[in-house]
Amino acid sequence: MDQFLQLIVAGLATGAIYALAAIGFTLVWQTSQTINFAQGEFVMLPAILVLTAAHVGLPMWLAFIVGSAAFILLFGFGFKRFLVEPMQRHGVLPLAIATMALSVLIKEAAKNGFSAEAQHFPSLVPDGSVSFLGAAVSARDIAIFVVAVAAILGLQAFITRTRTGRTMQATAQNPTVARILGVPVERMILLTFLINAALALIASYLISPVYLAKFSNGETIGLAAFIAAIVGGFNQIRGALAGGFLIGLIDNLAAAYVSSAYRAAVPLVVLVVVILVKPEGLLGRKEERTV
């Protein structure tokens, strides 16, 4: 029973990271109708930038500020301005391919420009354990879960309870009508990309102390988050949230009770079943498009 509780807590912590990245998939889809295949690398990169800044002599607190600012500027504003906007006019497929190329570019740049070896990343939460229902669970896992959920709830409150958030929703639902009504559509889309970058930043700082900072992290996180977004519902933030927690739990339980060698296959089986039974995802809504 103790081991089961530990796996549940660890699964929820992992799922919270997947949910943050999956929400990024959803936000980009809602605003540009494309899939950002570099989303996993977006989660990997902030930790690398912070360590790079620290290696050039900056104190760690300043390295966090510099790395965070550089990432938000490059992959919040820059991603939207210099990749999405020029490619979007050519259609969804060229833009998706461009994000694949960006994924490879980021990974290779991190590998060759920083290090091919995994590097220790400082944790903002001291390592240790706390008693939960009689079981010793990781304090770091609890902290990851709490911080990630707080970020997600904060985003949800911003979107549903503020005027700017409702304007973002209107832009995502029908940008043409929103533009006619005087909504600053381009500004709202930019804000969405900045939020996506901020979520990736949080996920990076939460997961890197556990998995270490390494160039290959993006592959694992990106695939898991992509599966989570599809399983939960690609066009709903709540779907990405539910999918993230579900995949995180399945991943950890499969490693313990099925086989660690096949842990990556179990979420794929879940993905296939959901696509066959409910193609729009567990909490997604059906969309009809003219082609």
230 within some domain: no
Q: Determine the Cα angle at 207 with ends 29 and 232, to 5°.
A: 35
Give the pLDDT confidence score for residue 274 in this predicted structure: 94
225 within some domain: no
- Are 47 and 204 in contact by the 8 Å Cβ rule? The answer is yes
pLDDT in 10s for each residue of the chain, 291 residues: 678 888 899 999 999 999 999 999 999 998 888 899 999 999 999 999 999 999 999 999 999 999 999 999 999 999 999 999 999 888 889 999 999 999 999 999 999 988 889 999 998 777 778 777 777 788 889 999 999 999 999 999 999 999 999 999 888 888 889 899 888 999 999 999 999 999 999 999 999 998 899 999 999 999 999 999 999 998 888 999 999 999 999 999 998 888 877 888 899 999 999 999 999 999 887 766 554
Domain range for 53: 2-217
110 within some domain: yes
Give the pLDDT confidence score for residue 289 in this predicted structure: 55
Q: CA torsion, points 71, 74, 77, 78, in degrees to nearest 10? A: -160
Domain count, the chain: 1
Give the pLDDT confidence score for residue 188 in this predicted structure: 92
User: Which tokens go with 143?
Assistant: 């902290």
130 within some domain: yes
> Regarding beta strands 129-132 and 135-138, do their DSSP bridges make them parallel or antiparallel, or are they unpaired?
antiparallel
178 within some domain: yes
89 within some domain: yes
Q: Determine the Cα angle at 11 with ends 7 and 14, to 5°.
A: 140
User: Which tokens go with 204?
Assistant: 């990076």
Give the pLDDT confidence score for residue 205 in this predicted structure: 95
- Are 239 and 26 in contact by the 8 Å Cβ rule? The answer is yes
Give the pLDDT confidence score for residue 30 in this predicted structure: 86
pTM reported for the whole predicted model: 0.93
Give the pLDDT confidence score for residue 2 in this predicted structure: 77
Give the pLDDT confidence score for residue 145 in this predicted structure: 93
Give the pLDDT confidence score for residue 219 in this predicted structure: 92
| Residue showing tokens 């939020």 | 195
d(CA 111, CA 216): 8
Give the pLDDT confidence score for residue 199 in this predicted structure: 96
